[in-house]
Structure 1
Amino acid sequence: MVAYSKCMAMVDALRLFKETGSLGNVVSWTAMISGFLQNDGKEEAVDLFSEMKRKGVRPNEFTYSVILTALPVISPSEVHAQVVKTNYERSSTVGTALLDAYVKLGKVDEAAKVFSGIDDKDIVAWSAMLAGYAQTGETEAAIKMFSKLTKGGVKPNEFTFSSILNVCAATTASMGQGKQFHGFAIKSRLDSSLCVSSALLTMYAKKGNIESAEEVFKRQRERDLVSWNSMISGYAQHGQAMKALEVFKEMKKRKVKMDSVTFVGVFTACTHAGLVEEGEKYYDIMVRDCKIAPTKEHNSCMVDLYSRAGQLEKAMKVIDNMPNPASSTIWRTILAACRVHKKTELGRLAAEKIIAMKPEDSAAYVLLSNMYAEAGDWQERAKVRKLMNERNVKKEPGYSWIEVKNKTHAFLAGDRSHPRKDQIYMKLEDLSTRLKDLGYEPDKSYVLQDIDDEHKEAVLAQHSERLAIAFGLIATPKGSPLLIIKNLRVCGDCHAVIKLIAKIEKREIVVRDSNRFHHFGSDGVCSCGDFW
């Protein structure tokens, strides 16, 4: 039967199962159920599991472990009730399969209850539960679980490290924590494991340390597609387009099979560097040579590529040729470009499209409002703001975060809640004087309020990223780099100011805004080349 299953001949396997008189044998039933599951026969496996119970054959722990992989055809709660009756719930094998099933359905609380009831928890059970917290974004719970398992004398495996590093990459967990887990992986001699090294690469790239990501990539003895794609995407997000394209060329040279994610990274690299012709060339390679059908993500990338370069006619042509209507995300890209390139009519159309699809989306109203403000059309701006109030749409506040000594500090524009607020504002005053000595003039067009110039200058000086940088300058050793995370796009005036601050203070300042990473060097140059 097993041989037939491995050869995908399930009809023959079932015939042999019935002919050999093994219908009362739980091992044979389990083998048949497993065979169907391995050959995409979830419905047949569940039917067989039901028939087995009707015929009085009692499932064992392996049967339960196998059938729980038949999601979503079978409900874990249904199997759970049977497991409790047979007292297999406390078995590590069955308990792990059950909690994993709940995790896959997003029921992490149910999974945690199952986990707590397992008698002898092995590393597989610990890793499954940690992965559950990781997948649902429960950072603190995942980190506490990792600490608990190590203190309990359980030795982490490569999947444990991969899960906890993915938590650090995908959430606001600190870079310090990520480095600690890296050190632990080295001590455990698991840092060179493919799933661990790929997770490390992704974590460092997403946390702003592209140099460490690059080192991990270079040291990998073997690479999977995740490694290649993460490196391309990492370089793209950090403004190193040419390096991203070099990695792509190396993939081609080594004949690594690319997927749609590979090209999303390539197009992003071209977009962030304004490489329109290169983007078009790689789009042709994707379709013609790699036979990859364009997805909505690829079309979105091409719209972004043309929009940022001011080629809005080409962007609209991509939208017109898409098989399905453009998403609100694509129209938001058009709207943002219209604001930059002063295309008011097209911007109004894009805003109408977004608001029709997502009337609660504050970004559309804000971008349209800002576009009118920059054009000096305060009457139209007032209408948009009035509409926001009528629909109770709230503007997303701009936050900036900085980590100092493993503690994260958050700032809003004009924030005066920080314990060291007096020192922060003194530092801002000092920077303001030194900036003016260098000839800096505030670009008041970035203040989108109908107020006098003096107030506009004060508003700019208190943007959240400047407060975070000022705190970083007084709270960290001289010369050490700063990493700022911002939930919105950095404005043009702040971008110009941060370049000067990096030069004045002789520091590298990295700012991760909603679009990308900006590396401001001590030479006063940004990695984006002022194209973002």
Structure 2
Amino acid sequence: MTGRDTHCPKSFFSSRAAHRDPWDVTVATLSMVCHASGVQQMTIHFETCNLKIPLREKIFLEGVLINIAKNSFLIEKEHHLFDECTQPNLAQHNHLLFYYSRRNLNQEALSLFLGIRRSGLPVDRSTLSCVLKVCGCLFDHVVGRQVHSQCIKTGLVEDVSVGTSLVDMYMKTNNNETTLELFIRMQEIKDSVTWNTMITGYLQNGRMDQAVNLFCKMKKEGFRPNHFTYSVILTANSAVSPFQVHAQIIKTNYEMYSSVGTALLDAFVKLGNVNEAAKVFKLIDEKDIVAWSAMLAGYAQVGDTEGAITIFGRLAAEGVKPNEFTFSSVINACAASTAAVEQGKQFHAFSIKSRLDNALCVSSALVTMYARKGNIESANEVFKRQGERDLVSWNSMISGYAQHGHGKKALEVFREMQRNNMEMDGITFIGVITACTHAGLVDEGQQYFDIMVKEHHINPTMEHYSCLIDLYSRAGMLEKAMEIINMMPFAAGATMWRTILAACRVHRNLDLGKHAGEKLISLQPQDSAAYVLLSNMYAAAGHWQERAKMRKLMDERNVKKEAGYSWIEVKNKTYSFLAGDLSHPLSARIYSKLEELSIRLRNAGYQPDTNHVLQDVDDEHKEAILSQHSERLAIAFGLLATPAGVPLQIVKNLRVCGDCHTVIKLISTIEQRDIVVRDTNRFHHFKEGSCSCGDYW
């Protein structure tokens, strides 16, 4: 039967009117007739056929009509039919109430309930439980209290489902004292659902300790936690030990549940214990994308790029479709790596293919990754395409420009934030002051520090003061830097004294350098930086005996100098080099390339600056030492291993020395290569004989 040839409803009703037999047509028969004709046609037939239908039969037909409208998802028609019903029943108005609630049409549900109450229609436990949930979602404790009164009047307050809904409503409306009192009164009727509701409410209101206490009390009173209980209690973070909960989960065999396993591995990840998280991950029976993403995020958090990439490959191999959080985590993992430039680009391409590159968390991760990887142009391209920007994006762009030596561009982004009335935090101003530091904008840096405190009411942290000290130290204004140290509300930390010491070495202030070195050694006696910087200061001043004493002190304290390493990524593989390194299979060709470059450099007018060799050896030996610095080895390998014209990116774990800085500028001209070197201070973009830092670093 089709919609075109169905005149049976009218004939059907006519035939029924002709008989005086009892009403014996089944719901199935009526539903089939109505469904074939369509609800609208059925309603017209029903309203227009001039028949006298008994009240009982009319009510029955009205119920069928509402049922058909319900099954056809015609909620407006259902509501209209409900309003015009001769005698609506409890099931009908409960159904409509549930429909609104399930679809988060909470205001409509509340209006419907109030209409039901005004008409004097009956309510039951289902009605009250549903409307209490609606009140909780709307945070409407006023109507919620009225419903509570109705629960008491009807005697349904003693019903476990109604009582649980009351607990949930009061928790969501942040009425904790009433909730606790109500929960205590439910001593005889509460079940695991009620306990879970109470625990969840405490967690959602930030009351971690109370949630954990309730969890312990639940077990003492003989209620067995279920998978939901374990899932939520593990979110209590520092208030509960995942190791203790893990033991209980193993006993109850909930470890294999995806929700429990994911919550447990996430708890271990937050502790930085990725090994335990990985063990839990293996035991989860059916790993959903949430579990995969949580494990991947764990590796990203601890900087294990290889682990994150491996997990991503496994989920792809098993046919699991990555979501935006998966991409965000693996891209952040690539950003944290010393190299991993090409992998990051590949994940960017994969996110585009998956149409997730415009998701806010993904695009923000991409901005951060490209900014950290020396590709500030790509970071800016992603930033410009963002339809929506969060604080991470803005901060990443500001700090990215700052680290790349583009101080003015960083400040332009900051001013754009101001024009858009964007929220700013302490990290924003760290980026802004750092931009001023690398650009030598001393007055501007101080002004932005004052704006942060006076206009944005952000209390300066140790890191903000460190940025300010760095600002003045790099500019050679060491007295001003010491003024800041003396006026700070807390004692100077190791980073500050290291900054002062490094600046003293550059600006040859031996007296203040000795003072800063002593402070740094007292704070971090096993950190080689203070000893090395002081030793280098003595060497630069020709105080070889003092230098020898410092080296002897290092030996006595078993302090090891950090070796200078440089890394370069070629074809998805990372290569590391140490000064004078001979371990690479292409060492012979690398050193041959360095000799070739040495000749071409001298022809270009290069003269080695042996002042950067802080060893008491002859000048010829000093020149040999300079020529074998790790960054030069990495660049020579890059020139051999990549096609002509391809840019090179180097990462170094120490500051680039002045002589290497001069050499790399010349190599960028001789070889016609753009070379990016990231040292501990900043990014250096070498192009056509100049550097983005303006020789100020």
TM-score bracket for the superposition, by shorter chain length: over 0.9
- Which residue of the other structure, out of 518, 524, 527, is the alignment partner of 2:689? 524
Question: SS at the partner of 2:690?
Answer: coil
**Which one-letter code corresponds to 2:695 in the other structure?**
D
Superposition pairs for residues 25-174 of structure 1, below 5 Å? 25-174=191-340
Contact (CA 8 Å) 1:338, 1:346: kept in 2 or not?
Answer: yes
**Residue among 525, 537, 562 paired with 1:359:** 525
Please say if residues 24 and 57 of structure 1, whose CA atoms lie closer than 8 Å, have aligned partners that are also in contact: no
Give the whole-Å Cα distance in 2 for the aligned partners of 1:57 and 1:164. 40
1:178-257 mapped onto 2 (5 Å cutoff): 178-257=344-423
Aligned 8 A contact 1:167 1:173 in 2: no
Structure 2 counterpart SS, 1:66: helix
Confirm or deny that 1:376 pairs with 2:542: yes
Deviation at residue 275 of structure 1 after TM alignment: 0.6
| Change over 3 Å in CA distance of 1:506–1:56 after alignment to 2 | same
71-80 or 113-122: which moved more? 71-80
- Cα deviation, residue 21, structure 1: 6.0
Query: How far has the Cα of 1:23 moved from its partner?
Result: 4.0
Aligned to 1:446: 612
> Which residue does 1:311 correspond to in 2?
477
The code of the aligned residue for 2:477 comes to: Q
Aligned-partner Cα distance in 2 for 1:453–1:78: 64
Indicate if the aligned counterparts of 2:200 and 2:211 stay in contact, CA closer than 8 A. Answer: yes
**What residue is the counterpart of 2:98 in the other structure?**
none
Q: Which secondary structure state, in structure 2, belongs to the residue aligned with residue 89 of structure 1?
A: coil
Shift of 1:20: 5.1
Query: How far is 1:481 from its partner?
Result: 0.4
Scaled by the length of structure 1, what TM-score is found?
0.98
Secondary structure of residue in 2 paired with 1:172: coil
Contact 2:274 2:299 in 1 (8 A): yes
Give the match for residue 97 of structure 2: none
2:487 aligned partner: 321
Which residue type is aligned with residue 170 of structure 1?
Answer: A
Which is worse superposed, 509-518 or 450-459?
A: 450-459
The answer as to whether partners of 1:442 and 1:457 remain within 8 angstroms in 2 is: yes
- Tell whether the 8 Å contact from 2:305 to 2:336 is kept in structure 1 after alignment: no
Structure 1: segments with no counterpart, 5+ residues: none
How big is each residue's C-alpha offset from its partner over 1:195-221, in whole Å with a ceiling of 9 and x where there is no partner?
111111111111111111111111111
Matches within 5 A, 1:378-397: 378-397=544-563
SS in 1 for 2:238: coil
Q: How far did residue 97 of structure 1 move?
A: 1.0
Contact 2:339 2:651 in 1 (8 A): no
C-alpha change, 1:173 and 1:123, in structure 2 (3 Å) is farther
> Aligned with 2:696: secondary structure?
coil
Inter-partner Cα distance in structure 2 for 1:21 and 1:418: 73
Q: Out of 433, 437, 440, which is 2:603 matched to?
A: 437
For 1:487, the equivalent position in structure 2 comes to 653
Query: Over aligned residue pairs, what C-alpha RMSD do you find?
Result: 1.3
CA distance in 1, matches of 2:683, 2:412: 19
C-alpha distance in 1, partners of 2:426/2:399?
A: 12
Q: Which whole-Å deviations, capped at 9, do the CAs of 1:7-38 have from their partners, x for residues lacking one?
A: 21111122233445674321111111111111
- Counterpart contact for 1:23–1:29, Cα < 8 Å: no
Of 169, 173, 182 in structure 2, the residue corresponding to residue 3 of structure 1 is: 169
| Per-residue deviation, residues 115-156 of structure 1 (Å, max 9, x unmatched) | 111111100111111111221222222211110011000011
Corresponding residue for residue 73 of structure 2? none
Q: Do 1:303 and 1:333's aligned partners in 2 also have CA atoms closer than 8 Å?
A: yes
Query: Aligned partners of 1:473 and 1:71: how far apart in 2?
Result: 49
Match of 2:467 in 1: 301
Q: TM-score, normalised by structure 2?
A: 0.75
Larger radius of gyration: 2
Answer yes or no: is 1:346 the counterpart of 2:512: yes
How many aligned residue pairs are there?
531
- Given that residues 22 and 28 in structure 1 are in contact (C-alpha distance below 8 angstroms), is that contact kept between their aligned partners in structure 2? no
User: Which residue identity does 2:690 align to in structure 1?
Assistant: V
2:358, 2:386 within 8 Å by CA — same for their partners in 1? yes
3-state SS of paired residue (1:69): helix
Check the 8 A contact 2:406/2:435 in 1, yes or no. yes
The answer to which of 398-407 and 223-232 deviates more is 398-407
Q: Is the 8 A contact 1:100 1:128 kept in 2?
A: yes
Between the aligned partners of 2:532 and 2:186, the Cα distance in structure 1 is 72
Is 1:406 matched with 2:575?
A: no
3-state SS of 2:566 partner: strand
Q: Which has the higher contact order (CA 8 A, sep 6+)?
A: 1
CA distance in 2, matches of 1:48, 1:467: 62
